[in-house]
Each structure stands twice: as structure tokens, then as C-alpha cells.
């Protein structure tokens, strides 16, 4: 299933998305009344048939506004740095990498987190104060949604613990990332994780997902999930080895070559820009940029 939160005529609804028919089915009842309804569906592994049974009406997709699928993150979303070869090389050469090691290509997954208040919707503005940061960058990424408690999970069993996938933008203040010699602060400005427009369950998600990013119509990124240095099962095995992953946890799997910092000179985001990220089967983010 493709599950979302949408606004119709100013009212917020839980919804099922039929991308092929360009239609949205509004869901009512107890499921819709939950404070964080999509997270509730993931945490309790509520089947698609149960959600479909609560549908009250169907409306054209073009008549709704998509919100973030989550009203709040369960806890800090996890993310992976330098997980595509070409991006690892471009970032290492950019002059903004304060965590360089002996090799540009990491030997182990580089895991970090973003603060919970980074959550924003698929069309919400990316806002920042130019007095605080002058190098805001986009990072289109495929996000993994954990579906069941996992600890000490093997690669062979890892995908059994995945509920599905979601598109996200790991927005980053590069100067803060460099100056503070760690990634958390520069990744955690308010609203720096646009998410959505829906979550796609594993059984409906393409196995050959492609992630593409455009800024003002100029294509910047084009990557395939098979190009990850550390694939999804490896990430789950590594992370669950010493910590428990919970249903509703989000893992951003890393961004590809083509981020703003990789250009010479860099192409950082500015007032009036629009960042579009499209992932096959996961929909699109379309976020304008606002300086405040």
C-alpha cells in the first residue's frame, strides 16, 4: 500500500494512494483518528485490507495537498554518509569534509542522525537564515521504514524487518557540517528533512528504484539503488548489531553524486530555488527555498 496524509478543502485525512489511477482514497474511523496515523499503521503492522475497509471516499490526486506522512518522527531519523562511490569522491574533494580518513570510500557505513524537528512535508519550504549558514545543500535519498523490532539481525533476514520506503531530502548546511567537524548540527536545522509524499510498503515498492533530483528544472542527480556501497540489508545488519531498531524508524540510505557542494564553484541553494526529488514508486518532493 501507499499510505499518506493529505489535506482536502482544509481538512486533514489519512489516505491510500493509487498512483496509476491518480486517485486518493480517504480513510476514516479509528485509524484516521490516531495522532500519528501512518506511524500507527507501521508500528502495528496493520494490513492494507484493514485500511481499505475504512475508506470513505475517493478523490483525484490533483485535488489534495500531500503532507508529511508522519506527524512526528518516532525518534531521530538515521542516515548514512558517503554511500555512493562517486558522491564519496566528490565530497572528499569538496573541501567541506572535516571527517576525512585515509580513503575517500568508507570501509564501514558512516551512520549519523538528524534531529526530530527536521521533519517537514513534501511541498513545505526549505527555510534557513543566511546569517547562520551560506551553504545549504540538497541530498535526494531513498529512505527505509523499519517495520518490526530488530536486534542482531543478519543480512539474510534484514528485509523481513522492512515495512517499506519513503522519499526524503537530507538537507545540509555544509559550512556547519565542516566547521563543527561532525554532521549532526549541519543536518539538523528546523525543517531540514522533507519527507513524503507517501510511504510505500515493501510489497509494492520497486526493487530497482531510481532517485533523481532537479534544482530549478536542471537535473543534478540520477542514481539507482543498486549503486549503494552498503546496501539496505548491510545497513540493517550493521546498525542492529549493537542497538535495537524500532518499527517506524527511518534510515536515509545516502545521496548520490551531483549535490551542490560537488560543483566548481558549488551550487548551493538560494532564495527562490525549487528542489524536486523523484523516486520511482515513492513519489516526488517539490520544496521551494526561502531565506528568512
**Same domain, yes or no: 87 and 57:** no
**Same domain, yes or no: 165 and 282:** yes
Q: What is the pLDDT confidence band of residue 100, given thresholds at 50, 70 and 90? A: low
Q: Write out the residue range of the structural domain in which residue 47 sits.
A: 2-66
**Same domain, yes or no: 137 and 211:** yes
Per the domain annotation, does 144 fall within a domain?
yes
**Same domain, yes or no: 106 and 244:** yes
pLDDT of residue 289: 98
Predicted TM-score (pTM) of the model is: 0.95
**Same domain, yes or no: 95 and 177:** yes
Under a CB-based contact definition with an 8 Å cutoff, are residues 187 and 119 in contact?
A: no
**Same domain, yes or no: 123 and 239:** yes
**Same domain, yes or no: 178 and 135:** yes
Q: Does residue 53 carry a pLDDT above 60?
A: yes
Q: What is the CATH number of the domain that holds 101?
A: 3.90.850.10
Q: Give the CB-side neighbour count of residue 167, counting CA atoms within 13 A.
A: 31
Q: Does residue 93 carry a pLDDT above 90?
A: no
In angstroms, rounded to a whole number, what is the distance separating the alpha carbons of residues 255 and 222? Answer: 10
Digit-coded pLDDT (tens) for 60-71: 999 999 999 999
Per the domain annotation, does 72 fall within a domain?
no
pLDDT of residue 95: 65
Query: Would you call 7 exposed, middle or buried from its count of C-beta atoms within 10 A (0-12, 13-18, 19+)?
Result: middle
Domain count, the chain: 2
Per the domain annotation, does 205 fall within a domain?
yes
**Same domain, yes or no: 161 and 213:** yes
**Same domain, yes or no: 38 and 174:** no
| C-alpha to C-alpha distances, 84 to 87, 190, 252, nearest whole angstrom | 5, 26, 13
Phi, psi of 157, rounded to the nearest 5 degrees: -105, -5
160 secondary structure, DSSP code: G
**Mind spelling out the 3-state secondary structure of 236-264?**
HHHHHCCCCECCCCEEECCCCCCCHHHCC
Q: What is the pLDDT confidence band of residue 106, given thresholds at 50, 70 and 90? A: confident
Per the domain annotation, does 73 fall within a domain?
no
pLDDT of residue 1: 97
Digit-coded pLDDT (tens) for 240-264: 999 999 999 999 999 999 999 999 9
**Same domain, yes or no: 93 and 192:** yes
Under a CB-based contact definition with an 8 Å cutoff, are residues 25 and 18 in contact?
A: yes
Q: What is the pLDDT confidence band of residue 15, given thresholds at 50, 70 and 90? A: very high
Phi, psi of 101, rounded to the nearest 5 degrees: -110, -155
Per the domain annotation, does 127 fall within a domain?
yes
Digit-coded pLDDT (tens) for 16-45: 999 999 999 999 999 999 999 999 999 999
CA-nearest of 214, 203, 292 to 259 is 214
Amino acid at each position: 500500500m501507499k499510505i499518506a496524509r493529505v489535506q482536502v478543502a482544509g481538512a486533514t485525512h489519512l489516505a491510500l494512494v493509487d498512483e496509476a489511477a491518480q486517485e486518493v482514497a480517504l480513510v476514516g474511523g479509528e485509524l484516521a483518528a490516531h495522532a500519528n496515523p501512518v506511524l500507527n499503521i507501521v508500528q502495528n503492522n496493520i494490513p492494507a485490507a484493514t485500511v481499505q475497509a475504512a475508506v470513505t471516499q475517493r478523490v483525484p490526486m490533483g485535488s489534495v495537498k500531500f503532507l508529511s506522512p508522519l506527524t512526528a518522527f518516532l525518534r531521530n531519523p538515521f542516515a548514512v554518509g558517503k554511500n555512493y562511490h562517486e558522491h564519496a569522491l566528490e565530497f572528499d574533494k569538496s573541501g567541506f569534509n572535516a571527517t576525512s580518513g585515509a580513503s575517500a570510500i568508507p570501509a564501514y557505513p558512516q551512520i549519523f542522525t538528524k534531529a526530530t524537528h527536521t521533519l517537514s512535508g513534501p511541498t513545505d519550504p526549505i527555510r534557513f537564515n543566511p546569517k547562520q549558514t551560506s551553504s545549504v545543500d540538497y541530498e535526494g535519498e531513498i529512505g527505509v521504514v523499519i517495520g518490526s523490532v530488530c536486534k542482531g539481525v543478519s543480512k539474510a533476514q534484514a528485509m523481513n524487518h522492512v515495512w517499506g520506503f519513503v522519499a526524503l531530502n537530507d538537507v545540509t548546511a555544509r559550512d556547519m557540517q565542516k566547521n563543527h567537524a561532525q554532521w549532526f548540527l549541519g543536518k539538523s536545522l528546523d525543517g531540514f528533512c522533507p519527507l513524503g509524499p507517501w510511504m510505500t510498503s515493501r510489497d509494492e515498492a520497486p526493487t530497482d528504484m531510481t532517485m533523481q533530483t532537479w534544482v530549478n528544472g536542471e537535473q543534478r542527480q540520477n542514481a539507482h539503488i543498486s549503486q549503494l556501497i552498503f546496501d539496505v540489508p548491510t545497513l540493517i545488519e550493521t546498525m542492529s548489531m549493537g542497538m535495537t531498531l524500532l518499527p517506524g524508524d527511518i534510515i536515509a540510505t545516502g545521496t548520490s553524486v551531483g549535490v551542490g557542494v560537488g560543483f566548481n564553484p558549488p551550487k548551493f541553494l538560494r532564495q527562490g530555488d525549487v528542489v524536486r526529488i523523484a523516486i520511482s514508486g515513492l513519489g516526488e518532493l517539490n520544496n521551494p527555498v526561502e531565506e528568512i
